[in-house]
Amino acid sequence: MKYGFIARHRSVWPTRTMCRVLAVSHSGFYEWMDRAPSQRSQDDARLTRLIRECFELSDRTYGSPRVWHDL
C-alpha cells in the first residue's frame, strides 16, 4: 500500500523523502516497481474483465447472482 502511494505521488515529492517518511526502504520500492505482476494479480485482472463484459452485455441489468451464474 505504501509503495502504491509513493508510485502515485513521485511527481509531487521526492521518492527517497517519501520512503523515509513512510519508513520503507527506497531499494525495496525500486524492486517493487520492476517486479512483474503476480499470477494472482493477473488472474484477478482477467476475472474483472470477464465480470465487466458480462455486466455490459446484459445492458447493465444483471446483479451479482446472474453474473456469477454466467461466469
pLDDT tens profile 3-49:
999 999 999 999 999 999 999 999 999 999 999 989 999 999 999 99
- Grid coordinates given for 28: 525495496
How distant, in Å, are the alpha carbons of 23, 45, 69, 70 from that of 55?
41, 15, 12, 10
The residues, any chain, with a CB within 8 Å of residue 52's CB and separated by 6 or more, are none
Give residue 71's pLDDT. 86
Number of domains in the chain: 2
**48 with 64, same domain?**
yes
Structural domain span for residue 27: 2-34
Same domain? 43 vs 27: no
d(CA 36, CA 44): 15
Are both 8 and 30 inside the same structural domain? yes
Assess whether pLDDT exceeds 90 at residue 51. Answer: yes
Same domain (yes/no): 66, 44: yes
Cell numbers given for 51: 465480470
Asked whether the predicted pLDDT for residue 1 surpasses 90, the reply is: no
